[in-house]
Amino acid sequence: INSPPNCGSGSIPEIKTTQQKSFVKNPMSDPHTIDSELLQKLVYDALVWSSLHGLVVGDRNVQRSGSIPGVGLVHAPIALLPYSFPESHWKQACELAPIFNELVDRVSLDGKFLQDTLSRTKKVDAFTSRLLDIHSRMLQIGKKEDIRLGLHRSDYMLDENTNLLLQIELNTISCSFSGLSCLVSELHRSLLSQYKEHLGVDFRRIPKNNSANKFAEVLAKAWMEYNNPSAVVMVVVQPEERNIAIRKTLAEIDAQGKTLSDGTLVVDGETVAVIYFRAGYAPNDYPSESEWKARLLMEKSVAIKCPSISYHLTGTKKVQQELAKPNVLERFLDNKDDIAKLRACFAGLWSLDDSNAVKNAIEQPGAFVMKPQREGGGNNIYGDEVKETLLRLQKEGSEEEAAYILMQRIFPKDFPTLLVREGIYYKEQAISELGIFSAYLRNKEKVIVSDQCGYLMRTKVSSSNEGGVAAGFAVLDSLYLT
Ligand code: ADP
Ligand code: MG
Ligand code: MG
């Protein structure tokens, strides 16, 4: 095998096993201490594994990537070794998954709660307003979703000072990386197993991760509930999609789609049983009225939507903040233990009409994050900008404040890590965010699935505020239970 071109610096030497052991004291807690020869070998093997197992993404540097399958692929940005994470917090996060599933479903059924919670946001945020318009129309026509499908991801960080696992947000639309995160876990299991002599660790402490299969299985189960063997599962995508599937853009759905008198959705001659939205979560996804027409057409249809407009709105940050208020969870859930478990993972969340919170945030902007109703990373406000923005909003006395919420900033412990991007490894200090995928499927009163479906660990350099992998801030990681 030839040395890979940009794999760290230099060529790939053979490893002398006996010598190596003495170099590596505790590689998992400080991978920076790993001997550079071993490191080269690990990186090389990780890159080979990624190429062979499809741990790859479209390469933006290659023009035809994304339009021609199999052309222009590059290994996904990854952490070379898994992130050490306490088993107790891992279990806590997994236990929360079915409770959040139930919460989303209950909240989604309360149309008035969603409309009221977002009523002030609606005035100043055109995008959320359009989503709410679709939701109101469904309320007006008394639209019922008997079969409800949610594929969610709840994200957490472990706060260093309090040692609490705190929720960052709950995603109910277009949850990314269920396809790749399971591969990263496999890659790490494979590396740890292959190098167990050198690293002295047990690969079985990386939890198995079935995210892709689980999500696919639940989509298939939803399709079965629809009960029409000739109907299809349709994935709504952005025009330049880097994921590969049977797919339609919103504009294509507007051009090729219609509903029959019984509500059946037909797109390009195919009856659609299940719609999975890999797009539609951001204003850019709706460049014209055509895309909004497509969204409304799908919502009115009897196709199973993942997510329905109600599920989508339930995932907004404003709803997250409202649910964290005293006595609000009690409106939706009966089980006291479940409520206590959810509350234990809620960070401080405030509306901007809370003058005390705003005052505190102006005095101590570093302790807060300001968030608009947006998804996909890169939209939040941090540090001094929190103060500046709050002061500006106060001065203008504008209603724009209703577009945001304030959140307690969580500070995870940073740790030394090895990040690999485009074949090159970097020694960095990093922090991590754990996402737990979950699926919920019900048909009327029957809950068919409510499960945890694997996990996503994202690791980013500690100097970066935001955490998007696709946005270039973070890498994919897995976890090593301690
Ligand atoms: P999005 O829906 O765009 O992903 P998030 O609420 O997840 O919005 O925020 C994006 C990123 O910002 C997170 O992945 C995390 O890295 C960081 N972040 C968000 N909220 C906090 C917080 N309260 N404390 C620290 N970091 C945060
Ligand atoms: Mg989100
Ligand atoms: Mg997020």
One pLDDT digit (tens) per residue for the chain, 482 residues: 333 334 443 333 343 344 444 444 567 778 999 999 999 999 999 999 999 999 999 998 999 987 888 899 999 999 999 999 999 999 999 999 999 999 999 999 999 999 999 999 999 999 999 999 999 999 999 999 999 999 999 999 999 999 999 999 999 999 999 999 999 999 999 999 999 999 999 999 999 999 999 999 999 999 999 999 999 999 999 987 666 677 999 999 999 999 999 999 999 999 999 999 999 999 999 999 999 999 999 999 999 999 999 999 999 999 999 999 999 999 999 999 999 999 999 999 999 999 999 999 999 999 999 999 999 888 999 999 999 999 999 999 889 999 999 999 999 999 999 999 999 999 999 999 999 999 999 999 999 999 999 999 999 998 887 766 766 678 999 999 99
Ligand 1 neighbourhood includes 169 CB (under 6 angstroms): yes
Q: What is the reported pLDDT for 240?
A: 73
- Global pTM reads 0.93
Residue 17: its pLDDT value, please? 42
**Ligand 2 ion local residues (Cβ < 5 A):** 169, 171, 375
**240 flagged as catalytic:** no
- Top mutation candidate among 152, 319, 369 for ligand 1, by most atoms within 8 Å of CB: 369
To test ligand 1's pocket by mutation, which of 152, 158, 346, 380 has the most ligand atoms within 8 angstroms of CB? 380
User: Quick one: DSSP state of residue 402?
Assistant: G
Is 395 assigned a ligand-binding role in the annotation? no
| pLDDT at residue 318 in the model | 98
Would the annotation count 348 as a binding residue? Answer: no
Interatomic CA distance for residues 180 and 55, integer angstroms: 6
Quote the ligand 2 centre to 280 CA distance (angstroms): 13
Contact 27, 39 (CB under 8 A): no
- Contact yes or no for 150/311 (Cβ under 8 A): yes
Q: Give the pLDDT of residue 468.
A: 66
- Cβ atoms of residues 430 and 415 within 8 Å: yes
The pLDDT value recorded for residue 90 is 97
User: Which one from 50, 101, 171, 443 is the annotated catalytic residue?
Assistant: 171
C-beta of 373 in contact with ligand 1 (< 6 A): no
Is 213 assigned a ligand-binding role in the annotation? no
Check residue 6 and give its pLDDT: 40
- Is 37 considered catalytic here? no
Cα 458 to averaged position of ligand 3 atoms, centre (Å) = 10
Q: Are strands 474-477 and 232-237 parallel, antiparallel or unpaired?
A: unpaired
Instruction: With H, G, I as helix, E, B as strand and everything else as coil, classify residue 450.
Output: strand
Q: Is 407 annotated as a binding residue?
A: yes
Asked if residue 282 lies in contact with residue 268, where contact means CB atoms within 8 angstroms, the answer is no
As a whole number of angstroms, the distance between CA 148 and CA 105 comes to 8
Q: How many CB atoms lie within 10 A of CB 60?
A: 13
What is the structure's pLDDT at 68?
Answer: 86
Atom 17 in ligand 1: residue holding the nearest Cα: 466
Q: Measure the CA–CA gap between 83 and 29, rounded to whole angstroms.
A: 8
